[in-house]
Amino acid sequence: MSSITEVAKLAGVSIATASRVVSEADYPVSAPTRERVLEAARTLDYVPNALARGLQKSQVPVVGVIVHDITDPYFAEVVRGVEDAAATSGFLVITCSSERNPDREREYVRLLRSMRVAAVIFAGSGLDDPALNEELARHVDGMREFGAAVVHLSPHALGEPEVSVDNTGGIAAMVRALAGLGHRRIAFLAGPTSLYVARQRLEGYRLGLTDAGLEADERLVVHTPFDREGGAAGVDALRGSGVAFTAIACANDLLALGALARLAELGVRVPDDVSVAGFDDIAVAADTSPSLSTVRVPLRELGRHGFAQVEHLLAGRPLPGEVLPAEVVLRQSTAAPAALPAATRGTP
């Protein structure tokens, strides 16, 4: 693997000049000299050493993305958005599936620091874990100190996210849509209590209820983990409690998928017996049967904007905070409640 020294030698110039040419530095080099260096680099198949350059600059063109789990379609989509934007700028993307495990998260941040990555994007929501957050704050300060950009894509303990999605408004809109179909008893699979994003969505549920003039009933709110199993467990909890409901809004699509599967097992028809709605609009939401009504969140966009913010931060001109819109998408899993007299359907 040839180094800049060899390129310089072949071109008959100093390594300083060679460096200026190949690194596209903003520094005058005569056209013929430049051409000779470029030619030498080409014939030697020169690939600059990013580590040497990074050591100099205390920074490599790499962005780390901390996600809950890359196999969760939500995060895969966000990471893809980051990747696409990053590729355009010659940045590489490191994915870190922390499983929301403080130890794993800690370890990943440590490794990213040791790599002197130019930026870290926290794609997952913050956990309400004071000890972890304190340590994270230390690391984040440490990273910013040496010039790294830190960007959050969802609510967390350390401040406002730089880019995020309208969680509260999105869920509220879905609840209003369900109310608009005639539902009065709308249950909510709220996800874990310890996650800030889940709290925002729960707030959205309450807001939607208020907007629709419906009364809140805490027995209709079930907390479970944010996955398929949680959705199934939520359905069981709801049915076990004996409380009446005609629709289930879910804080994310994975919960809705789990709920759909469990209801099918139980022989409960969707949407005939109960309506189900998700949140996120991951790719499979359109492929389930019945297809899932949900709230579309521009996830890839979220990743792209996250990286855009990184670039602005690195350039010293941070963009103002940004909240991406969420939009209700009604598919087959929601309908007017069966028990309702036809006349009242559709009037909220």
Partner DNA sequence: CTGAAAGCGCTTACAG
Where does this chain bind a second copy (CB under 8 A)?
Answer: 1, 45, 47-52, 54-55, 58, 60, 62, 64, 69-71, 73, 76-77, 79-80, 83-84, 87, 90, 92-97, 104, 107-108, 110-116, 138, 142, 145-146, 228, 257-258, 260-261, 264, 283-284, 286-290
Could you say which of a second copy, DNA, none residue 232 binds, taking C-beta under 5 to 8 angstroms by partner kind? none
Q: Among the residues of the chain, which ranges form H helices?
A: 4-11, 15-22, 31-43, 50-57, 73-88, 102-114, 130-145, 167-180, 196-211, 228-241, 253-266, 299-314
Closest approach of DNA to the CB of residue 40, in Å: 12
Q: Residue 276: which H helix or E strand, with range?
A: strand 275-277
Q: Rank residues 16 and 244 by Cβ distance to DNA and give the closer one.
A: 16
Closest CB to a second copy among residues 72, 166: 72
> What part of residues 4-43 is at the interface with DNA (CB under 7 A)?
4-5, 13-17, 19-20, 22-23, 25, 27-30, 32-34
Least distance CB 110 / a second copy (angstroms)? 6
Q: What is the 3-state secondary structure (H, E, C) of 58-96?
A: CCEEEEEEEECCCCCHHHHHHHHHHHHHHHHCCCEEEEE
Cis peptide before 271 (omega within 30 of 0): yes
25 binds, among a second copy, DNA, none (CB under 5 to 8 A by kind): DNA
Q: If contact means CB under 5 to 8 A according to the sort of partner, which of a second copy, DNA, none does residue 13 touch? A: DNA
The structure tokens 């009242």 sit at: 344
β-sheet bridge partners, residue 327: 296
Smallest gap from Cβ 10 to DNA, in A, equals 13
What contacts 87, CB < 8 A, 6 or more positions away? none
58 vs 88 by CB, closer to DNA? 58
Q: Identify whether the C-beta of residue 296 lies closer than 8 Å to the C-beta of residue 281.
A: yes
Q: Which does 286 bind (CB under 5 to 8 A by kind): a second copy, DNA, none?
A: a second copy
- Binding residue for DNA (CB under 7 A) from 35, 43, 49, 265? 49
Nearer residue to a second copy within complex by CB, 113 or 206: 113
Q: How far is the CB of 71 from a second copy (least distance, A)?
A: 4
Instruction: Assess whether the previous peptide bond of 290 is cis (omega < 30° from 0).
Output: yes
Tokens standing for residue 43? 């014939």
